[in-house]
Chain A
């Protein structure tokens, strides 16, 4: 692969630029859909981009006493880890190098923003930030376990921790969405917790803790946080599509690309509908739901897959 090709793949397609466009598109779709569900008109298509550009132009201030470098580093690290995660995933059906255990690496990279989010709460020292950060950590310990367990059903079934093997087994047999529909739904619940979407948006519940850990952030840093969260949605959904729907397409084809986009849009519709329907849970209700219902269910599901 020559240098130009590497540049193209890293920054244009399916790298940074494509991911960014996809993230902004999904974000717009989300807002538009929720608006339509709620009987509103919703924003025009360029709204997420306009918001982002405006934020980049805004003054960047933090409370005095905050470690400025650390506060700037946190969104950068989360942004970098989400973007790195996207390089391990065949986003848009572009084949990528795979190795034994990249499933776990991806899990780790995707959980980085949550940890950084918690630290952001501590670094900026506001009351609301600290509570928001604490809540995100509490939430982290419930949905992260759920997400990992539910997703690992696919790895157990294929007998490998490599993403390429998970894909190949599905092409040989059947996409895991059919035998593992429960695992898929539970992973989706875990992903909602990861993305801090309603009804699991407890760390940034507006009527309780303003904007949670990001309350004190502004300007470029806040914009970076927003991009990170939007990118995280794309990478998380792609991860889900890869693990449960592979086999519905051929790699590196135009038709595969469109099937992938279609699945992405459908999943986003499901997430938006869930956001519009449910009331935000309380943190104890979330933990109860996760540890008493979802995680036992996931364990039973995984045992069933193992025995099969």
Chain B
């Protein structure tokens, strides 16, 4: 069999963001792959050092177009910890609401991308149609579909009124029905199973060795979730389950993410039912006392880690961001080995990459 090297990326229909894979093929079998990163590196960590803490909220939100809110939440959390601010409960609840809406939006988007990559355009259209519900809710609440600018240091800058709550109630019910319908159709679809089962397998040891987090880790049997293990915001007041599966393939990741979407809808309903009264934010001083702090949150793709060091001025002295995509990226060459070319798209879609997060 002749050997061919196929470039996947930086521009390829399979990838929505620039990333480069050089896949060596022997016939249809993948013998090796070389990963290249950095096409969307914007130097955000350095930029953050030149801006004030408040300006940074909007900069940080631009790290990613899908999980923008979780980034600013984690950042605000760390600055609030430095300032020793007590954020009002209502503010925390609205933050959590947007986090969960964002999780639904991210998972449905991901499901669409996977479906598109394995040639199931119908599911792609359905998933993205249902995602519009969440986007509309978020637009109604914050004015933005993907970048919300909801967070400020000390709380949030939007408030929910009665019409928001009734809109949320209605739409979340409808969404719950539709996501269950998608889950049912996937579980019964033989051709979908044939394309995703036993593809991109990661064992529990691999997961621990590569420090993989999020749904990919949970699909391989690693039971971690920052929302439950180290509750931030007010997650300890809410009641939810963390789905875990043991198969470790793309199939498990798909089913797991849909179950997570259902849990996120459940969380949203709990949040709007138990929404406390009171202010949504408190005023924060502009200068942050010297010190350092680390903050963690559960993004749709797993744990986000922020480290902020302050020297007492208006600008942070150092901001370090660790996103979940970076760890999953490292597992890709191992997952691709000895797979078929047709499975490359499934595997790359299956781990849910967010290159913009990874490169920053």
Contact = CB atoms under 8 A, between A and B. Distances in A.
Contact of A127 (B5, B13, B118, B349): B5
14 contacts: A38-B126, A40-B125, A131-B341, A199-B119, A199-B191, A201-B119, A205-B119, A207-B345, A208-B341, A276-B122, A279-B120, A279-B195, A284-B28, A285-B194
Contacts of B6: 127-128, 131
Interface string A4-42: 000000000000000000000000000000100111100
Contacts of B340: 282-284
Contacts of A278: 120, 191
Nearest to B194: A285
Given A130-B4, A209-B341, A280-B120, 9 more contacts: A38-B121, A127-B7, A131-B4, A135-B28, A206-B13, A207-B118, A208-B342, A279-B192, A282-B342
A202 interface: yes
A281 interface: yes
A197 to B, nearest CB: 11
Contact of A207 (B5, B117, B189, B191): B117
A198 interface: yes
Contacts of B125: 38-40
A40 B340 CA distance: 32
A116 B341 CA distance: 23
Given A131-B4, A208-B342, A281-B191, A276 B121 contact: yes
A185 interface: no
Contacts of B120: 278-280
Contacts of B129: 39
Nearest to A127: B6
B4 A279 contact: no
Contact of B189 (A128, A279, A280): A279
A278 B115 CA distance: 11
Nearest to B195: A279
B343 interface: yes
A279 B119 contact: yes
Contacts of B152: none
Interface in B191-209: 191-192, 194-195
Nearest to A278: B191
A285 B345 CA distance: 16
Interface string A142-183: 000000000000000000000000000000000000000000
Contacts of A281: 191, 194-195
A280 B191 CA distance: 8
Contact of A280 (B14, B195, B344): B195
B342 A202 contact: yes
Contacts of B12: 210
A24 to B, nearest CB: 22
B148 interface: no
A207 B122 contact: no
B318 interface: no
B228 interface: no
Contacts of B195: 279-282
Given A38-B125, A207-B117, A283 B345 contact: no
Contacts of A130: 4
Interface residues of B, number: 31
A237 to B, nearest CB: 22
A283 B342 contact: yes
Interface string B202-221: 00000000000000000000
B4 A127 contact: yes
Contacts of A34: 121
A262 interface: no
B110 to A, nearest CB: 14
Interface string B1-43: 0001111000011100000000001001000000000000000
A109 B4 CA distance: 32
Contact of B13 (A202, A207, A276, A280): A207
A38 B14 CA distance: 20
Interface string B119-143: 1111001100100000000000000
Interface string B314-358: 000000000000000000000000001111110001000000000
A164 B342 CA distance: 43
Given A208-B342, A280-B195, A39 B119 contact: no
Nearest to B344: A208
A279 B194 contact: yes
B145 interface: no
A242 B195 CA distance: 36
Nearest to B119: A280
B116 interface: yes
Interface in A246-281: 276-281
